[in-house]
Structures are given as structure tokens and as C-alpha cells.
Amino acid sequence: MPTDSILINRAPVLTLWAALVAEHVGFESSEALSLAKAVAGQQAQAKGQTLGLYHPKLNPDGTPAHKKNLGEEFWVQLCGKNIPSIQTVNGIRAVSKDKPVEPESVQKYLVKAFGEALDEVRNVMELLASSRDPGKLNSEAFRLYEKFRPAVDSGVSGWGQKGKLDLEKIKKMAAHQ
């Protein structure tokens, strides 16, 4: 049965959206899931720091702490975020907490977060991603997300709060480029 909206936290919405954007700009599905989780993680970290909930890790001398060397590391730009990444035998993987982000764990996270609505939400977001020029999608992806993301209270009270993801709004955005 089609749904007009679902109640959900913002993080899985951004994760799913970023994965679709990554696929549209040429990444394999498993690579896209890994990179997308890092996009959502960076956004949550930045928001948490703004709210005073998280503090950046610092060395004893007060300089920013850097992650350990995992080998050939490079950066992937996705949805306005620079994602530290590595090439593995299974493809590109984002790096989080000094480890590659495994796509299987991201898929399980999305299934748990969206439940039975996952396929429907994915299809609606796919409409939006497909409605945009692939060459421009990555650069405008975060602004698009900001227009359809669930509304939550501002400040600390909104942290982790669920909001309404309006699927009809996303469909209208896809129809009106």
C-alpha cells in the first residue's frame, strides 16, 4: 500500500539519499552504501559539534587528531562532503574510525530504519535523482536533501528526533526541476 509519508530520523534519510546520488554519479552499489554512511556520519558529527554534543578529537598539544594510515587513501566528494576513502579488493570504501565502512552493515541499518517502506522511499528518491542532470546532481544533492528532509525541533531537543518524511514532496521536486 503506497505511503504519503513516514516518521523517521534524518540520518537514515541522508544515508539512503547519498547512496542513490553516489550510484547516479557512477559508483557501484556497495561503494555507494559505504560512502553514503560516511556522508551521514560527517553531517551528524558536524551537527553534534555545533550543538556542543560532540567535541573534535585533539592531540595532547591541542592539534586535531588524524587517523592512522590505512594505505592508499584518497578523498571522494559526495553531497558536499569530502569522504576519506580507500581502494579495497571489493571496491572503494569510505573510512570511519580507521576502518573501511562495510556496505552490508549500511544495508542492514537502512532496512532497520525504514522497515517495509524502504523500497518505496528508495523508488521515490530515485525519481528525484533521475530528474537531475547527473553532472550536476552531486553538487546540488545536499541542497535537495535540505528541502525534503524530515522537519525536527531546532537545537538539542531535535537531536535524534523523528520527523515526517513527505514522499509526495519528493515526487513534486522530481517533477519540477
Q: What is the pLDDT of residues 89-136, one digit of tens each?
A: 999 999 988 889 999 999 999 999 999 999 999 999 999 999 999 889
Put simply, whether the predicted model's pTM sits higher than 0.75 gets the answer yes
Residue 64 has pLDDT above 80, yes or no: no
Look at strands 91-96 and 81-88 and give their pairing. antiparallel
pLDDT computed for residue 35 by the predictor: 96
CB neighbours of 161 closer than 8 A, spacing ≥ 6?
A: 9, 152, 153
User: How far are the Cα atoms of 8, 129, 153 from residue 166, in angstroms, in the given order?
Assistant: 10, 16, 16
Residue 36, Cβ density class (10 Å: 0-12 exposed, 13-18 middle, ≥19 buried): buried
Q: Does 173 or 52 have the greater pLDDT score?
A: 173
- 11-48 pLDDT per residue, tens: 999 999 999 999 999 999 999 999 999 998 877 565 54
Helices of type H across the chain: 10-24, 29-50, 103-114, 118-130, 134-148, 167-175
Q: At 122, phi and psi to the nearest 5?
A: -60, -45
Q: Is 148 helix (H, G, I), strand (E, B) or coil?
A: helix
HSE at residue 112, side-chain half, CA atoms within 13 A, is 7
Domain ranges of the chain: 5-49+68-175
Query: Cβ-count burial of 122 within 10 angstroms (0-12 exposed, 13-18 middle, 19+ buried)?
Result: middle
pLDDT of residue 66: 55
pLDDT exceeds 50 at position 151:
yes
Determine contact, residues 85/73, Cβ cutoff 8 Å.
yes
Task: State the pLDDT at residue 156.
Answer: 45
pLDDT score at 142:
93
